[in-house]
A and B are shown apart, each in its own frame.
Chain A
Amino acid sequence: NAGVTQTPKFQVLKTGQSMTLQCAQDMNHNSMYWYRQDPGMGLRLIYYSASEGTTDKGEVPNGYNVSRLNKREFSLRLESAAPSQTSVYFCASSDQGFEQYFGPGTRLTVT
């Protein structure tokens, strides 16, 4: 049981480049989430997917898009990266118990 996996672990982008962060879970959870973590700001929700086929905006969705590819996978896309998107990105999943399980994170730097 790998839990929640994320790729890549590290990425450096130039301003204006695009990329997709991948997330997969093997716990058969219905809900999946993308957060960003910035120093002194805790974790902020970018997008979430309550179930397969649905996605909704969180607190800070601007500049991002998501795709719930199937029940296991939830990807986050940056269409045109900006320095303000330099952050650590975490994917999480949950089921009925409201406990969220987190992946190891992706450290993104935009120069």
Chain B
Amino acid sequence: AQSVTQLDSQVPVFEEAPVELRCNYSSSVSVYLFWYVQYPNQGLQLLLKYLSGSTLVESINGFEAEFNKSQTSFHLRKPSVHISDTAEYFCAVSRLAGANNLFFGTGTRLTVIP
């Protein structure tokens, strides 16, 4: 079975400061990895994904995440956050084979302070 751990439930950070949201997973099989973002009162939107290839993946709004197989991690980083990045962020995993169900972490609420 797959599981995802997001250790930080809340992360406050000042505007223009860097941020890292941590995600660790456990799985007995190879997985795909995802970060989703949820803005207040909205559904989830895909931020970025790792399927194969380069272990560093980037989003269009400046976030990046690095797949580290040895540490079973997929941490999300941004070098300089903006007020508009305030949201809840969910890490998720999916098996490579079989039903592509997503297993979600419990989420990290990022609050950017002006």
Q: What is the interface of chain A, defined by CB distance below 8 A to chain B?
A: 4, 31, 33, 40-45, 48, 50, 56, 58, 90, 92, 94, 97-105
Contacts and interface: CB of A to CB of B under 8 A. Distances in A.
B104 A43 contact: yes
- For chain B, the bracket of interface size reads 20 to 34
Nearest to A45: B101
B28 to A, nearest CB: 17
Contact of A42 (B45, B99, B104): B104
A48 B98 CA distance: 13
Contacts, number: 51
Given A42-B104, A43-B104, A102 B44 contact: yes
Contacts of A48: 99, 101
A100 B43 contact: no
Given A50-B99, A99-B46, 4 more contacts: A45-B103, A58-B101, A99-B49, A100-B102
Given A41-B106, A42-B90, A99-B49, A94 B43 contact: no
A98 B106 contact: no
A57 to B, nearest CB: 11
B7 interface: no
Given A40-B106, A43-B90, A33 B46 contact: no
- Which 4 pairs show the lowest CB-CB distances between chains A and B? A102-B43, A42-B104, A42-B106, A102-B44
B100 A43 contact: no
A78 B12 CA distance: 38
Contacts of B105: 42
Nearest to A90: B43
B51 interface: yes
A97 B104 CA distance: 18
Nearest to A100: B102
